[in-house]
Amino acid sequence: FSRLTNKLFNTFYFTGLGKDHLSEMMIKRFKYENLKIDLIQRIKGKYPGLYSIQTDKKGNRSFSYWRNESAAKEMIKNCNLDNLEKFIGNTELFYYTGISLGILKPKDQNKLIELSKKSKLTAFDFNYRNSFHGNKIKSQSLFKKSNFFSKINFISFDDIIEIFGKSDPFQFINTFKRKDNIIILKHFEKIFYSEFNKIGSINIPIIKAIDTTAAGDSFNGSFLAYHLKNKHLSIEEKILSSHVITKNVLKYRGAIIPKTKMKI
C-alpha cells in the first residue's frame, strides 16, 4: 500500500514492539519503507511476535508461531486511547485484520473495533487462524461485528469454510453484503465481489508462485491503494490491477519484494 501511495498519503503503522535489538531492526526497516512509526508502542520486557513459514514446491505455506511474549498483544493497553481516537478521526483509511483481533484480549478486541470506526474508511481482512482464534462461535460474533463496521471486507474461501462452514461464495456474500460496503472474496482462480449490493465475479490469471507468503497482503494493499487514488476505476479494474502486483510479488521468496523488482 505505502509504495503505491506514498506520494499522496502518509502510512502509519499501529502495533507494539519491544526495546530489543530485533525491534530496533524492524523500526529501521519501517523507516526505509516510508512507514510512519509515531503510533508504534514500545513496551519494556516484551518482544516482537515471531512465526516461521515453510513453503513447499508449489509455494504453499505452513506455519509455526511464537506469540506469548508479543508486544503487539498489549498495543491497546499501552496506548493513549483518547489521543489515538482523535488521530484516527483524521485518517482516510484504517485497515486491520482478524489476526490483529485474534492476539488481543476480548475487551481490547472491542476497543480496536471502536477505534476503526473513527476513520473515514475502514477495511477488514477476516484472516481467520484456528490455531489462536479458538472458539468458533465467539469468532463468528467478533467477525460479524467487524464486518458490520467496515466498508471494505477481504475474505478468502478458506475463511468462510473455517469460521462459518459455508461452501457457497454467493450465499456467504448475500449474508454479509450491505448497501454501503464492498466484499472481496478470493476463491481459487476467481474473485467474487459485492459492491454496494451489486454482486459479480471475475476470473483471474493463474499465478505460478515461488512463495505465497504475501499473497493476501499484497492484493489487499494494492486494492486499497487503487481504491483511494484511482476512484475512476471500476471494481473489476481494481481487482485485476491488484492481481498483477500480487502475481509479481509471489515470484520472489519472502513477504517483501525488493523495490527494484516491483512493477508499478
All structural domains of the chain: 2-10+70-261 (3.40.1190.20), 11-69 (no CATH)
In 3D, which of 125, 123, 130, 124 has the Cα closest to residue 163? 130
In 3D, which of 80, 79, 82, 134 has the Cα closest to residue 103? 134
195 bridge partner residues: 182, 198
Sign of CA dihedral 96, 116, 75, 140: negative
Q: Please, which pLDDT band fits residue 14 given cuts at 50, 70 and 90?
A: very high
CB 172 within 8 A of CB 185: yes
Rounded average pLDDT over 254-261: 86
Query: Angle 136-148/106-116 helices, nearest 10 degrees?
Result: 20
Reply yes or no on whether the pLDDT at 58 is more than 90.
no
- Location of C-alpha cell 516484551: 46
Structure confidence by residue, pLDDT tens digits, 237-250: 999 999 999 999 99
In 3D, which of 136, 138, 231 has the Cα closest to residue 182? 231
Question: pTM (2 decimals)?
Answer: 0.93
